[in-house]
Amino acid sequence: MAYYHWILAFHVMSFVSWMAMLFYLPRLFIYHRENADTKAFTDIVEVQEYKLFKYIGVPAMWATVISGGTMLYLNTGIFSSGGWMHAKLLALVFLLAYHFSLNAIRNTMLTNPHYKSSKWFRFYNEVPTLLMIFIVIMVVVKPF
């Protein structure tokens, strides 16, 4: 347990990086969709989407999951201290599904830049915000 707080500090750095990708990639999809007929623009934004997801999103997601999982392994008493971690893990299932959905959308927009609408992406962009608010309240306030 002596290094538990080092893992927790790494966990906080990891999920901040992961959330940065989850917040910003849908923004790129909005610009991509709004400039779908400008190939010079879509060629550049496709590279940005790829690098943001592969080089920041994926490593940060794994670092968050592994650091969180390690803390669960080291501190199993968490599950008997109320339902807050169960509720957090349920929200994390949706956050992970959202993560993989962004990669599926990214791949679709490579061949179909007119996929969905920029309004749809603006709404979809709010999902990780709502999940993050719920997750942080669960783990910091531990309401139940």
Q: Site residues (CB under 6 A) for ligand HEM?
A: 8, 11-12, 15, 19, 64-65, 68-69, 71-72, 75, 78, 92, 95, 132, 135-136, 139-140
Query: Would you say 31 or 134 has its CB closer to ligand HEM?
Result: 134
Q: Which is nearer to ligand HEM, 44 or 132 (CB)?
A: 132
Element (DSSP H or E) covering residue 109: helix 84-111
State the nearest-atom distance from the C-beta of 136 to ligand HEM, in Å. 5
CB of 13 or CB of 44, closer to ligand HEM = 13
- Nearer to ligand HEM (CB atom), residue 47 or residue 90: 90
For residue 113, what are its two tokens? 């830049």
Residue nearest to ligand HEM (CB): 68
Question: What's the closest the beta carbon of residue 111 comes to ligand HEM, in angstroms?
Answer: 31
Nearest C-alpha neighbor of 12 from the set 138, 136, 108, 137: 136
Question: Residue 69 is which amino acid?
Answer: G
Q: How far is the CB of 46 from ligand HEM (least distance, A)?
A: 27
Confirm if 53 and 21 have CB atoms less than 8 A apart: yes
Question: DSSP 3-state assignment of 1?
Answer: coil
- Angle (nearest 5°) at CA 93 between 112 and 111: 10
